[in-house]
Structure 1
């Protein structure tokens, strides 16, 4: 079986204890991945009751990175909710519950304490700050290949939310410096999600960096300036959505399921 991004990140974290970059990469993968949360009973609308286990005097919900692993653990059909790790962290924040990921799966298993989930929820919760600053000068980007790759992967998963993006180093009118990711073709409703996903890529890089996300019309003069020095990303075309499917609990990261 091909390893998922979450499995690869967990393997890397477990192979290098104390490596902060590996730990952050694992939590970034967890936030972006879909997990199957084992339930004590069928969901009632957006209200769910997770199955709990106790270990070392603490309680943990059980989640799996595939339906196959969930079925292997339960040995029979069982109710579950498919949701993102980000939604799960938001749901469990402050509840005093940890996460048992892939229990009994050997190297693919890990116990995360309540404080780690609270940290993840806090890390994911801040909204980007809006600004109308105008770039004074633009230069080729100077970010690490790892961070550029993380941005590229996140933009690829944002198919249909924008057309293209340009990354450049920037000096602002107040002489402050950083980087600018300029995005074109993004409707106003998609802009907060795009800004947040790039902000998270920077946060999970473990580096203290300033990367501003701006939204521009394709014919904005700033784009012409960027084309001379910036790294360009082209976002993929969206897949045709299934308009008949009913959203599952936790499928909207801004509306996590409610614990019963």
Structure 2
């Protein structure tokens, strides 16, 4: 018997609660998972390559076979050609071909058939790009009471963004035109990381069930005056540091014994 995985837990919760929020949480876990896809051949998946998944047909729909653990794949299919991709990339690949996903078949708690329309929805959701605006922040205020689902989703997404910034502040902002919104000030982002951070915040809104809500993102340096204002009034969220690099091994050193 294999271990229970985050996908198992999310699926069991969605089945038990039957709420939109629980189902959204399952699809969020699916997007973040590393999935092992059974192939019809041993073609490699390069940056611009295509794959030929092994398909099963159920009631007129075609499904690719994917597993979140290698042990589950091997128990179901034995030795076969496979490729490992992120759930978000797999959703895009399958949606492009009009395919569904046969997930963890063989008795896992998360075993199910995700039809093509569900995969297409996930692909569209993950492809959403945040919109850029140019507005002046006039006032900063404490964030007030926020939905627990949003705070949990933000915490989870920002943990996945380890090393892309130092920390962030969540607060309310009043703009020069009088509009009011919550704002997340992300401090000292690494160059080029802004797009991934903005997308992570956008997905946190969607998967917390608050897609209709708004949460503006602003990127700052620690030395800017707005950062100090956010520090006085906002809720601080620390981002994890990047994982330390392993020691560099001398190529001329003798091999380690196992």
Same fold (TM over 0.5): yes
Task: Give the 3-state SS of the residue equivalent to 1:93 in structure 2.
Answer: helix
Could you say which structure has the greater relative contact order, defined with CA pairs below 8 angstroms and 6 or more residues apart? 1
Please give the alpha-carbon distance, in whole angstroms, between the structure 2 residues aligned to 1:190 and 1:134: 23
Among candidates 200, 204, 210, match of residue 201 of structure 1 = 204
Equivalent residues in 2 for 1:41-60 (5 A)? Answer: 41-44=41-44, 45=46, 46-60=49-63
Q: Who is 1:124 aligned against?
A: 126
Please give the alpha-carbon distance, in whole angstroms, between the structure 1 residues aligned to 2:119 and 2:58: 16
Please give the alpha-carbon distance, in whole angstroms, between the structure 1 residues aligned to 2:128 and 2:175: 23
Paired residues, number? 242
Equivalent residues in 2 for 1:1-260 (5 A)? Answer: 2-17=3-18, 19-44=19-44, 45=46, 46-74=49-77, 76-141=78-143, 142-207=145-210, 208-240=212-244
1:106 is displaced (CA, Å) by 4.5
Give the structure-1-normalised TM-score: 0.87
| Larger CA Rg, structure 1 vs 2 | 2
Task: Give the 3-state SS of the residue equivalent to 2:97 in structure 1.
Answer: coil
Please give the alpha-carbon distance, in whole angstroms, between the structure 2 residues aligned to 1:2 and 1:183: 36
Q: Which runs of 5+ in 1 are unaligned?
A: 245-260
Considering only aligned residues, what root-mean-square deviation do their CA atoms show, in Å?
Answer: 1.9
Q: Who is 1:257 aligned against?
A: none
Give the structure-2-normalised TM-score: 0.88
1:20 is displaced (CA, Å) by 0.8
Say if 1:178 and 1:209, in contact at 8 Å, map to a contact too: no
Q: Which runs of 5+ in 2 are unaligned?
A: 249-258
1:3 is displaced (CA, Å) by 3.0
Runs of 4+ in 1 over 6 A off after TM superposition: none
Task: Give the 3-state SS of the residue equivalent to 2:193 in structure 1.
Answer: helix
Task: Give the 3-state SS of the residue equivalent to 1:92 in structure 2.
Answer: helix
